[in-house]
Amino acid sequence: MSTSPASSAASPEWWRGIAVYQIYPRSFCDSNGDGVGDLAGITARLDHIASLGVEAIWISPFFTSPMADYGYDVADYCDVDPSFGTLADFDALVARAHALGIKVTIDLVFAHTSDQHPWFIASRADATNATADWYVWRDPNPDGTPPNNWQSVFGGPAWTWDARRCQYYMHQFLKEQPQLNAHNPAVQDALLAALRFWLERGVDGFRLDALNHAMFDPAFTDNPPAPDDGTPRTRPFDYQAKVHSQNHPGVVGFVERIRAACDAFGAVFTVAEIGGAHVEPLMKAYTAGEHRLSSAYSFDFLYAPEITPALVKQALGVWTDHPDKHGLSEGWPSWAFENHDAPRCVSRWASDADRPAFGRLATALLIALRGNIFLYQGQELGLEQDEIPFHLLKDPEAIANWPLTLSRDGVRTPIPWDASLPHGGFTTGTPWLPLSPGNIARAAAAQETDAASQLHWTRKMLALRRAHPALRLGTMEDVHARGPVLTFTRRHGDTAVHCAFNLSAQPVHHAAPDGTILAAVNGAGATTLAPYGAVFITA
């Protein structure tokens, strides 16, 4: 086990502009044949990740859990669930990643725990024990109904009755995920102790899950109705504006405590997940100045039904290089096109026939964005969204809201490593979710031997980003959305890279500046952008 601070980076801002590869451990690689991916499997495949040219990995939760929400219901923040291995397996993973030059980021869930966590088991025993107010307990209304109208993300009231305390407890997600009372300093202390536990094992950073859910209005005011904007509503949660049940300004103080704890271990990368509508002010508040988080994870593209120049311009326009109204330096954005909760981007944004070309364009666009970029496992293979029949679903939200909500299982299906092996080489047993024949055909081994594959293209694009500081660290200038064409310039020092993207299936004319073409996508040139074509030009 490593006990030294994770401060070996030459620069205290090693994380700025990095590419991060997200690993969903259940579905990455199974080392023992039980059908579930594990830490040893990740370690065995780190060479593949290193070959992409990413600077860091983000591992979704692998902590002790009853798996009601597949690891996002934590029963012990400081241990590994047996299905994923042991602490020794984690230490071996960190050592191997560091040997390959890869930083290790893990997922911490600070808004809730599992109902099997010892803290909650003690808290629900009575109203006088030491952890009685570590969770959110409220008496019923006089008629026995829940304390207010707050709704859970996964459907139904955000309150469940507990006969032990004769009170309701709050949960913003599953009833098996009781809400922590992060207003309580003792709760913050306990969570920061867990954070330090992993820092002492050599972790380089954290992705902080659902961080804006960590606090709530202590007056428990009812949420108002949400205006009907035409977006389909599949859950009671969708009918409310969540102005009181989440997004409390007190989270900023907790954020500063998190940053202080990380600073004691040197250069640590922290990125906040801040979901919901109109959260840009929160993203900036959590990342402003030098005493808060490194970055915030944007949702602009994760659920977008299509990718357009206007959407990209709008998303990029939120983040500038200018101080905020308080004089604090603005935070640094992080971008992703898909993740463990959001559908595969090629399935959302392109027709079947166009997906190979579109996959190349999407990768080129992602590496050109100002900020940190996240690739979800299998994105480098061009994996498509899988359709999981109801009887094989594991996702509790999809099961509860069938068929009106998109199953997260479709993006969580296992990675195919070798199409010549059963189950694509993911496992020698029965995989916890099935692999589709289409995605098995996209296995990594086959793409290694195909110079034109999405795998090789991903490596090429990430190498381009690393080779040009303008793409990794530069400012974003002259962003224009003209019909299907998106253009902008990335500038760093005396170097500028002009980027142009055709987000349509038709060729378009483009008046590019004079210069050297660094990369051309799908046959694009300086004056004509082929369908789903793009060009990078430097003066």
Q: What is the pLDDT along the chain (539 residues), one digit of tens a residue?
A: 443 333 333 466 899 999 999 999 999 999 999 999 999 999 999 999 999 999 999 999 999 999 999 999 999 999 999 999 999 999 999 999 999 999 999 999 999 999 999 999 999 999 999 999 999 999 999 999 999 999 999 989 999 999 999 999 999 999 999 999 999 999 999 999 999 999 999 999 999 999 999 999 999 999 999 999 888 888 999 999 999 999 999 999 999 999 999 999 987 999 999 999 889 999 999 999 999 999 999 999 999 999 999 999 999 999 987 666 666 667 899 999 999 999 999 999 999 999 999 999 999 999 999 999 999 999 999 999 999 999 999 999 899 888 877 789 999 999 999 999 999 999 999 999 999 999 999 999 999 999 999 999 999 999 999 999 999 999 999 999 999 999 999 999 999 999 999 999 999 999 889 999 999 999 999 899 999 999 999 98
Q: Are residues 175 and 207 in the same domain?
A: no
Domain termination site, one of 385, 407, 426: 385
Instruction: Determine the pLDDT at residue 8.
Output: 37
Nearest to 170 by CA among 179, 180, 162: 179
Q: Are residues 84 and 206 in the same domain?
A: yes
Instruction: Determine the pLDDT at residue 374.
Output: 98
In a domain, 296, yes or no: yes
Domain termination site, one of 342, 363, 385: 385
In a domain, 236, yes or no: no
Query: Alpha-carbon distance 51 to 54, whole Å?
Result: 8
Domain termination site, one of 327, 356, 385: 385
Q: In this structure, what CATH number is given to the domain that contains residue 130? A: 3.90.400.10
Query: Alpha-carbon distance 347 to 316, whole Å?
Result: 23
Please give the residue range of the domain that contains residue 525.
Answer: 464-538
Residue 380 falls in the annotated catalytic set: no
Q: Are residues 75 and 211 in the same domain?
A: yes
Q: Are residues 353 and 207 in the same domain?
A: yes
In a domain, 353, yes or no: yes
Nearest to 28 by CA among 83, 86, 92, 95: 83
Q: Are residues 97 and 137 in the same domain?
A: no
In a domain, 398, yes or no: no
Q: In this structure, what CATH number is given to the domain that contains residue 505? A: 2.60.40.1180
Q: Are residues 147 and 284 in the same domain?
A: no
In a domain, 227, yes or no: no
Instruction: Determine the pLDDT at residue 7.
Output: 36
In a domain, 299, yes or no: yes
Residue 392: burial class (beta carbons within 10 Å; 0-12, 13-18, 19+): exposed
Residue 170 is classified by DSSP as E
**DSSP 3-state of 39:** helix
Q: How is residue 200 written in tokens?
A: 């002492």
Q: Are residues 341 and 192 in the same domain?
A: yes
Q: In this structure, what CATH number is given to the domain that contains residue 266? A: 3.20.20.80
Work out the number of other CB atoms within 10 angstroms of the CB of residue 397. Answer: 22
Question: Which of these is catalytic: 55, 115, 176, 209?
Answer: 209
Q: Are residues 187 and 125 in the same domain?
A: no
Instruction: Determine the pLDDT at residue 11.
Output: 63
Query: Alpha-carbon distance 372 to 507, whole Å?
Result: 30
Q: Are residues 171 and 301 in the same domain?
A: no
Instruction: Determine the pLDDT at residue 5.
Output: 35
Q: Are residues 69 and 97 in the same domain?
A: yes
Question: Which of these is catalytic: 162, 273, 380, 397?
Answer: 273
In a domain, 391, yes or no: no
Total domains in the fold of the chain: 3
In a domain, 313, yes or no: yes
DSSP string, 356-391: HHHHHHHHHHHHHSSSEEEEETTGGGTPPPPP--GG
Instruction: Determine the pLDDT at residue 10.
Output: 43
Q: Are residues 131 and 260 in the same domain?
A: no
Q: Are residues 105 and 128 in the same domain?
A: no
Residue 209 falls in the annotated catalytic set: yes
H or E stretch covering 309:
helix 309-317
Work out the number of other CB atoms within 10 angstroms of the CB of residue 387. Answer: 11
Chain centre to alpha carbon of residue 11: 24
Cα 490 to Cα 208, 499, 509: the distances in Å are: 29, 8, 21
